[in-house]
Amino acid sequence: MPRTNGNIRIQVVVVVVGTALMGLKFLAWRITHSNAVLSDAFESIVNVVTGCFALYSLVLAAKPRDREHPYGHGKVEFISAGIEGALVGIAGIAILVRAVLALVRGHEVHELGDGIVLIALAGAVNLVMGLVLRHRGRRSGSITLEAGGAHLLSDAWSSGAMLIGLLLILFTGRQWLDALFALAFGAFILLQGVRVLRRSVAGIMDETDMVVAAEVVAILEQERHPDWVDLHNFRVIKFGTTLHIDCHVTLPWYYPLEQAHDRIALMERLVNARYDRDVELFIHMDPCLPTSCAICALDDCPVRKQAFRRRVTWTLATVLANAKHGLDDDGGARA
């Protein structure tokens, strides 16, 4: 809960600062009448709207699980990121349309010096906030903060490119460069929106984060005990900042229920102690089979049917399949 409350406080700051920056950018547009600056100001509207919805989603995701939501409310973060991605994409399209019209009809900018100063200030603030949000989102596993950080960083980079464009216009006097840079900003913003939307849809569809899954499997492999015979049918689902892991673990078939439960509880404690996320493990216990003996490293097994040959290393490639492992005649691993 403290980590979640920290995420909410950071998002409140982002909304307040974003609102101030929006006013700053529209002031810069009023001074310069630049389409490129106006495109940046339009994106700031999206920043504020999505920031408010992201704040709401973080507050909702922090609510404790209840009877109607046994896995908690974390899925709302994917919806928040999806809305943000869609709005960013719409803003990108609007900027592209306005830039094309400016190229066709012609457009004149003026008072670039003051506008350059204001855009530079706004870009610097967005850069700092974007880095903070992205770092916090990755540490806490919040896709809302990470998406917000990516959005602010894209805004900072576009502001930097815009400064270059405004300086070129200032020194060369070529007015058409304004619309050209607006086109580039619009395309960049549209691409960022599509990326955020794609990640949101992946989360809603429970797509496995292969990087996270590989990290958890590596922890289990490093801390592996001899009686953890096999691991398979491994799945990772994100619910907000919480990871839910389903897997099957093969244990000696003769273990009493209490002993088997203790071995599973040990796995859960190891993962939660080593991983900087809230992790829930739902582990199905499988009894070993005679074919499991070849990959079982338990020295004092009283019912061994065949000699131990080698252990199957747990990696993402070996644990995803829904089948127990064994060895073929050549000693290779098979599921």
Task: Write the pLDDT tens digit of every residue in 221-278.
Answer: 999 999 999 999 998 887 766 788 889 999 999 999 999 999 999 988 888 887 766 7
Q: Is 247 helix (H, G, I), strand (E, B) or coil?
A: strand
The answer to whether 249 and 234 are in contact (CB under 8 A) is no
Q: Where does the chain hold its CATH 1.20.1510.10 domain(s)? A: 2-204
Q: Give residue 1's pLDDT band: very low, low, confident or very high (50, 70, 90).
A: very low
Average pLDDT over residues 290-300: 89
Give the domain 2-204 fold.
Answer: Alpha-lytic protease prodomain-like (1.20.1510)
Output the CA–CA distances (angstroms, integers) from residue 157 to 82, 136, 151, 153, 236, in the order listed. 22, 20, 10, 6, 33
Query: Could you confirm whether domain 210-334 is CATH 3.30.70.1350?
Result: yes
Out of 13-27, 142-156, 199-213, give the one with best mean pLDDT: 13-27
**pLDDT tier at 322 (50, 70, 90 boundaries)?**
confident
Residues 6+ apart with CB under 8 A from 8: 55, 58, 59, 62
Distances (CA, A) of 323 to 133, 231, 233, 234, 247: 40, 9, 7, 10, 11
Tallying the residues shown for the chain, one arrives at 335
**Taking all residues of the chain, what is their mean pLDDT, rounded to a whole number?**
80
User: What does the block give as tokens for 224?
Assistant: 């592996």
Q: So what's the pLDDT on residue 323?
A: 82
Residues of each domain in the chain carrying CATH 3.30.70.1350: 210-334
